Amino acid sequence: MKAKICVSLLPSSVIEAHNLIEKAEDLGSDLIELRFDYLEPTINFSKLSDHGTIPKIATILSVNQKEKINVTKMDQQKILIKAAKSGFEYVDLGLDSPNLEKTIKKLKVLNCRPIVSFHDFTGSLPLLALEDILEKEISSGTEVCKIVTTANQIQDNLTILNFISQQSSKTCLVCFCMGKLGKISRLLSPLYGSFFTFASLKGGYETADGQISFQEMKKVYKVLE
């Protein structure tokens, strides 16, 4: 089984985005996540979606954080729908987004595959809680479910990997742990059934805590093969 890797990018301008997309394509990334956290909502999203050939995910992870674009949850949805209209293959929405099911239907009409995600930036969750979150995501009508927790101990990786093994047959699932102690699940999640995992473009370009570079991941997968 070939592990799919999505390179996550956090550009601050269209020019920088073009440069980063080209570098991710040169590496051989399977998907590219473009985080709009620092991009002005008025940009021409077609200039991003049309650049390169690798499928792209549009998302905004944070709201109202220092130095980031200050947008409400509703504004986020408008921006991401605009990205879908501009040709992005995937749009990632938070499980807590307002009018989630309605937005998902809009994305599908636009031939964009919706991803519904849940993030816990503080710790891990027991299997029953993970199952409850997954059922809520599936009920929303999304095509891809994403659940990301934070590992505070090595054993948290085992919980997540066990969860993926049990649940990945139900839906298209992306799941792993963030944090330095979560690297194991980032690496192994595709081998347990996760649709893909995330990597940074290279060292110093991480967009989340515990992210591993694309090249490092490829080296590990080559050994595992």
C-beta of residue 159 within 8 angstroms of C-beta of residue 126? yes
Q: What CA–CA distances, in Å, run from 11 to 40, 48, 148, 206? A: 11, 11, 22, 12
Alpha-carbon distance 116 to 134, whole Å? 10
pLDDT tens-digit readout, 190-224: 999 999 999 999 999 999 999 999 999 999 999 98
Q: Walk across the sheet containing 197-199 and list its strands.
A: 172-178, 144-150, 113-119, 90-94, 56-59, 31-35, 5-9, 197-199
Answer whether CATH 3.20.20.70 is correct for domain 5-224: yes
Q: What own/partner pairs with CB < 8 Å and gap ≥ 24 does 189-192 have? A: 189/160, 189/161, 189/164, 190/1, 190/3, 190/4, 191/1, 191/3, 191/224, 192/161, 192/164, 192/165, 192/168
As a whole number, mean pLDDT of residues 77-93 equals 96
pLDDT tens-digit readout, 136-193: 999 999 999 999 999 999 999 999 999 999 999 999 999 999 999 999 999 999 999 9
Percent over 70 (pLDDT), the chain:
95
Per-residue model confidence (pLDDT) at position 18: 98
C-beta of residue 60 within 8 angstroms of C-beta of residue 80? yes
C-beta of residue 89 within 8 angstroms of C-beta of residue 48? no
